[in-house]
A and B are shown apart, each in its own frame.
Chain A
Amino acid sequence: MSCLRTDDIQMYLDGELSTSRQLAAESHFAQCNDCRRLLEKQQHDIKVLMDDLDAILPLENQEISPFKAPSISKHRKLSRWWWTAAVIFPLAFGIVFSWNQPDDEQQLLMQQVALDMLYESDLNAQWQSGEIQVVELEYH
């Protein structure tokens, strides 16, 4: 086995190498003074670093705040949205339609148009059934 890289040594120290590679690394350390020295140096650096890290990290507070269990489930939240939508949409439609409501004059005009159409269709039916005849007027 060739000499180990620093990341291999790191993995060896953390026990993250596969069993076969771990065994191969062990036998290499037994033979290679350079790698063994590197292993010891890296081990020392990590220990110093981890000890110092403890000193500078926020303190681990042992006071545990009580857990506040959620009272509203997601499903209920969704229902609440649907309820809101059910109220808002009819209101919005009502406002839009009342905004476009025709005034009295427009309504009268529409009624007149409808009556005219009925009258014309009635005349047409009478003519088709022969009840009335078209008389050509002569102009003098």
Chain B
Amino acid sequence: MSYLYRCTMNFDQIYQTYYPELLQFARFMTNHREWGAEIVQESFVKLFEASRRGEYVENPRAWLYRVVRNHCINHNQRNRLVLSDDQAIYDGVQQADYADSEMLNERQRQLKRTISELPRQEQMMLFLYRKQFSYKEMAEVLQMNPNSVGKTLSRIIQKVTQKIKEVNHELFEN
């Protein structure tokens, strides 16, 4: 299997390493188990072809996330399954893909509701932040200006925590 240009991992290693988290991301975006898996496969096929052509992929992880993101957006639009910003992202999701909702505490349920009300771009940003993406990588995946990532991220975190505190203040205390 060919090595990606300037990348220390070969294609198989990249596949084994990033498949689980990309599948999680695709499911988060589509709310569908099979579609998510299909999109991740398609994205890896793109990377496979790029590596075969000897294309320059500096950061395969961010590259794959960007492809998965674009696939998910196209897929949702094509299937008229656009989960609008107002719509709960967990609508119609297979419960097997999530932790038992009975186990969630009140603050986590509130967070779930709050996140579902965020625009898709902001939901994705929180996801990537959780996955410890750098600002540069986030900008690459979300196709935005790297200089505005810090400000946007700070605003999202403030917005989410503020909303949860409004509902139940003591839940956020130490």
Residues of chain A touching chain B, judged by Cβ–Cβ distance below 8 Å, are 6-7, 9-11, 14, 16, 42, 44-46, 48-50, 52-62, 64-65, 67-70, 73-74
CA distance A6 to B135 in the complex (A): 16
Give a binary string over B96-134; 1 marks a CB under 8 Å from any A CB, 0 the rest. 011100011001100110010000000000110110001
Which chain A residues border B127 with CB–CB below 8 Å? 53, 57
Is the CB–CB distance between B108 and A10 below 8 Å? no
Is the CB–CB distance between A60 and B21 below 8 Å? yes
Is the CB–CB distance between A10 and B150 below 8 Å? yes
Residues of chain B touching chain A, judged by Cβ–Cβ distance below 8 Å, are 12, 15-16, 19-21, 23-24, 27-28, 37, 41, 44-45, 48-49, 93, 97-99, 103-104, 107-108, 111-112, 115, 126-127, 129-130, 134-135, 149-151, 153-155, 157-158, 160-161, 172, 174
Is the CB–CB distance between A67 and B15 below 8 Å? yes
Contacting B172 at CB < 8 Å: which of A7, A48, A69, A74? A48
Q: Which 9 A-B pairs have the closest CB atoms?
A: A10-B154, A7-B154, A11-B150, A58-B27, A58-B97, A7-B151, A45-B161, A60-B24, A56-B112
